[in-house]
Amino acid sequence: MIKKGKVVSLFYSAKDEAGNLVDSADENSPIEYIQGSDSILPALEAALEGKNEGDTFTVYLEAKDAYGESDENLFFDAPLEHFDGEVRPGMRFFAQFPDGEQLVTVVSVENGNVKIDANHPLAGKNLTFTVTVCGVRNATTAELEAGSPEKPASSCSSSSCGGCCGGCGGSCG
């Protein structure tokens, strides 16, 4: 059963309100995290609490509980001359900020200015997650200290271990 300190393997799909797939981790490349380590969306982690290996469920998250509302303060203009190469709406790149790099999206290019959105690409979107729990195990002391699961020493393909819940401990990929 999923509870604090357990390593959880899962695969999921996330769709916006129009039903468009906006994110996923499939059976061949599940994600692993330690429950209670704040590694995934808090509302999704709360929905996973108490679930068991093999459980499949759907959870609806409002934008505020997913990647947050879009913050108008995270839109800004930058001179086009500060960019190398072609710049067009929809492009994403990492920009340097005082507290480190952050993914940003080009909103528009007009009159020598580039309008940038530094919100998370899924900010402002209500999302529906369909999740399958494919593994639950106790975290090792080292994993708890590191705050993340250890990667397996060797990898395997989904055909040799049966996908997410196969012989490689839920870490196939």
What's the fold here for domain 6-66+124-150+159-165? Chitinase A; domain 3 (3.10.50)
Q: What is the mean pLDDT of the chain?
A: 87
* Percent of all residues in the chain with a pLDDT value above 90, rounded to a whole number: 76
| CATH code of the region 72-117 | 2.40.10.330
* Domain regions of the chain by residue span: 6-66+124-150+159-165, 72-117
Q: Which pLDDT belongs to residue 142?
A: 94
* DSSP class per residue in the chain: ---TTEEEEEEEEEE-TT--EEEEE-TTS-EEEETTSS-S-HHHHHHHTT--TT-EEEEEE-GGGTT----GGGEEEEEGGGS-S---TT-EEEEEETTEEEEEEEEEEETTEEEEE-S-TTTT--EEEEEEEEEEEEPPHHHHHHTSPPPPSS---HHHHTGGGSTTTT---
pLDDT in tens, 98-119: 888 989 999 999 999 999 999 9
- Would the pTM of this model clear 0.85, i.e. be above it? no
